[in-house]
């Protein structure tokens, strides 16, 4: 049964999976094997030539990995999935596949720090040009397009500013310029946003976050409905070696089964917390797509099916006050990453986005006092009580 035929909650449990044909196991088996035996030399030759689509070597393909790829592709409304060892492996694979000497990419300025660092400090060594803009303003994206632009790369909601980019508008801008649109959908997961349906060519995830949801795996995913694009990305990842391990893939498959349950609870908690934080006397501002004060509130309502579980806020008193809050929480964990079942709090300027440098952070709207809060699935009153007592320490 395909994702389109059932509700999303059901698809999370069943998409891309079926009982094991050998023994009838309900859970997808972990094929923890580096290589696969051939019946004879002719079969081996057929598999390497592409005439036989059977498995040959896990770096190239694995049954457990394939189940996860089918699952997430169906959830995203795409046709093809490619699981990777980490979220950065997914991002690097996209860049290595479509960028090269003399090529240009337009990117959201406020993206995950290492994503921007790759474009600014690594790919420039190979002649790749990048322009970073506030992609929440579609005109900024359009004005940044050059004759050699081959990719528009957006992260929406952006990390960590939570600004929202109009995916459909950026898809038109990219396609009119003969470029492709790539969307990092990590913050939303396919439960809350489906970029392919809005015109994106490729969607990527750090599956470490909401898709897995238990802070025990690092993994990434690429999804597209374009077979040629997937063939090219698969070729690159096989050559570069960024393949996911089968056991990682199985853990993510297990995590995806509770995706809808987790996001619903975390999102409900986040909505309540954002509303309360906005009234708190020690809070300078709150950025959350579910608040009417969010600059792209209406776009979020149109483009997303829910505001999500991520909140950014700034405490009065700047970095020192923010440090006091993070050092004073007891229930929430001071740690990077997000989308886990537990609440996580961190300071982007000194942690996840430190590699960008002060000037780039300021340009992207990442203030020194910004605190990023990944709201978890604990009881709401416990989350609030813990954060409030930390704010009282300022």
Residues 315-351, buried b or exposed e (16+ Cβ, 10 A)? Answer: beeebebbbbbbebbebbbeeebbbbbbbbbbbbbeb
To the query of whether residue 59 is one of the catalytic residues in this protein, the response is yes
Distances 56 to 40, 66, 76, 93 between C-alpha atoms, Å: 13, 13, 28, 22
Query: Which residue in 55, 112, 153, 288 is the catalytic one?
Result: 112
Catalytic one of 52, 56, 59, 172: 59
Q: Is the dihedral of CA 316, 269, 78, 66 positive or negative?
A: positive
The residue to which tokens 């997808």 are assigned? 28
Note if 264 is an active site residue: no
Among 134, 184, 201, 386, the one annotated catalytic: 184
Active site residue 142: no
Exactly one of 209, 262, 287, 361 is catalytic; name it. 209
Q: Is 52 a catalytic residue?
A: no
The residues annotated with a catalytic role in the active site are: 59, 112, 184, 209
């Amino acid at each position: 049964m395909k994702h389109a035929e059932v509700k999303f909650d059901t698809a999370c449990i069943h998409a891309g999976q079926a009982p094991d044909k050998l023994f009838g196991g309900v859970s997808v088996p972990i094929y923890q094997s580096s290589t696969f035996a051939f019946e004879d030399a002719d079969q081996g030759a057929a598999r390497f030539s592409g005439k036989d689509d059977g498995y040959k070597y896990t770096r190239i393909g694995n049954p457990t990995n394939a189940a996860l790829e089918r699952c997430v592709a169906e959830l995203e409304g795409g046709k093809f999935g490619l699981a990777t060892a980490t979220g950065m492996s997914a991002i690097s694979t996209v860049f290595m596949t479509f960028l090269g000497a003399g090529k240009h990419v337009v990117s959201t300025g406020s993206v995950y720090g290492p994503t921007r660092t790759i474009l600014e400090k690594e790919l420039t060594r190979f002649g790749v040009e990048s322009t970073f803009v506030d992609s929440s303003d579609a005109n900024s994206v359009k004005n940044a397009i050059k004759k050699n632009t081959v990719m528009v790369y957006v992260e929406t909601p952006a990390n960590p500013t939570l600004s929202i980019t109009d995916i459909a508008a950026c898809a038109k801008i990219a396609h009119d310029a003969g470029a492709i649109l790539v969307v990092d959908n990590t913050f939303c997961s396919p439960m809350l946003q489906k970029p392919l349906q809005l015109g994106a060519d490729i969607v990527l995830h750090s599956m470490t976050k909401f898709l897995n949801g238990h802070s025990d795996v690092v993994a990434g995913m690429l999804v597209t409905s374009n077979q040629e694009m997937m063939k090219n990305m698969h070729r690159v990842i096989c050559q570069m070696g960024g393949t996911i391990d089968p056991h990682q893939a199985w853990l993510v498959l297990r995590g995806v089964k509770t995706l809808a349950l987790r996001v619903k609870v975390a999102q409900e908690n986040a909505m309540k917390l954002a509303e309360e934080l906005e009234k708190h006397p020690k809070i300078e501002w709150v950025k959350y797509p579910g608040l009417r004060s969010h600059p792209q509130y209406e776009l979020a309502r149109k483009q997303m099916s829910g505001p999500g579980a991520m909140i950014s806020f700034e405490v009065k008193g700047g970095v020192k006050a923010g440090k006091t809050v993070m050092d004073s929480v007891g229930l929430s964990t001071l740690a990077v990453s997000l989308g886990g079942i537990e609440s996580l709090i961190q300071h982007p300027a000194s942690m996840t986005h430190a590699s960008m440098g002060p000037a780039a952070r300021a340009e992207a709207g990442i203030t020194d006092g910004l605190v990023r809060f990944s709201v978890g699935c604990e009881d709401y009153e416990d989350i609030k009580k813990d954060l409030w007592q930390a704010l009282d320490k300022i």
